[in-house]
Amino acid sequence: MDTILDVRDIGISFGSYHVLKSLTFSVRKGEVLGVIGPNGAGKTVMLNILSGILRPSKGEVFFQGQNITSLPVARRCRMGIGRTFQVPRPFEKMTVLENIMVGSCYGDLKSEKEARARALEIVELIGLGGKKMWLAGKLGLLDRKRLEMGRALASNPRLLLFDEVAGGLTESEVGAIFRIVKLVKEQGISIVWIEHVLQAMREGTDRVICLAGGKIIADGAPEEVMRCREVKAVYLGEEEDDERQDSFGGCGS
């Protein structure tokens, strides 16, 4: 499977604080990569670097073989990188359909007619077909999360960056997010998905990396990473005795 995203030795500092030290990883076409880690590990900072909001202090980012390290957000979006934000902020006085059309018009440079046709497809995919004429400000949290994903999809991405799209949802509501992720993956779109909901990481990803201390401490199959002793210590807050730790083995790489 071909690589769509290649992150090479990325680091970033704010003053004397080194948020990310030396991240190197890749994402394959059609792969769902989960990203976990304790608060303050730099997960959202990493997403901001990938989307172009921040520029790294060192290292390079390649998308579909092209160096995009210095490219602005809008250029990356039009190349095929879409993203959501942790707190959805839709245009509250616009309808669900209009919100998605904005993503298509400005993110993919579609005409209004083309954007409407695309938006009508997306509202069905994200499960908001029955609410497409609702004002976005009237939506509950789950539907706001769905709309946030729909707006990112409207830019016609090849890579989606999801920032805690399952956060704050009930177990049954997380299932609705799984459905969207599955449908997106079936379209061949790659995903980098930051999440604290471990159910989502276990069931909705192909691979998981764990960030801690500004670096990747584990990289592998979801269950393999969750069993990693170092991940349990820094992220899950569990300290195993020596006999139990020996039964888990090391971290994937």
User: Going by C-beta distance under 8 Å and a sequence separation of 6 or more, which residues neighbour residue 175?
Assistant: none
19: which 2 tokens?
């948020």
d(CA 63, CA 50): 9
Distance, CA of 48 to CA of 73 (rounded, Å): 9
**List of the chain residues with pLDDT < 50:** 240-250
Distance CA(111)–CA(51), nearest Å, equals: 24
Instruction: Please name the amino acid found at residue 4.
Output: I
Within the chain, all domains assigned CATH 3.40.50.300 are found at 1-80+157-218
Residue type, 33: L
Distance, C-alpha 52 to centroid of its chain: 14
> What is the C-alpha separation between 243 and 221, in angstroms, rounded?
23
Bridge partners of 28, per DSSP, are 3
Name the CATH superfamily, with its identifier, for domain 1-80+157-218.
P-loop containing nucleotide triphosphate hydrolases (3.40.50.300)
Burial code (b: 16+ CB inside 10 Å, e: under 16) for 20-55 equals: bbebebebeebbbbbbbbbeebbbbbbbbbbbbebe
pLDDT digits over 66-85, tens only?
A: 999 999 999 999 999 999 99
* Alpha-carbon gap, residue 79 to 253, rounded angstroms: 30
Q: How much is the pLDDT for 41?
A: 92
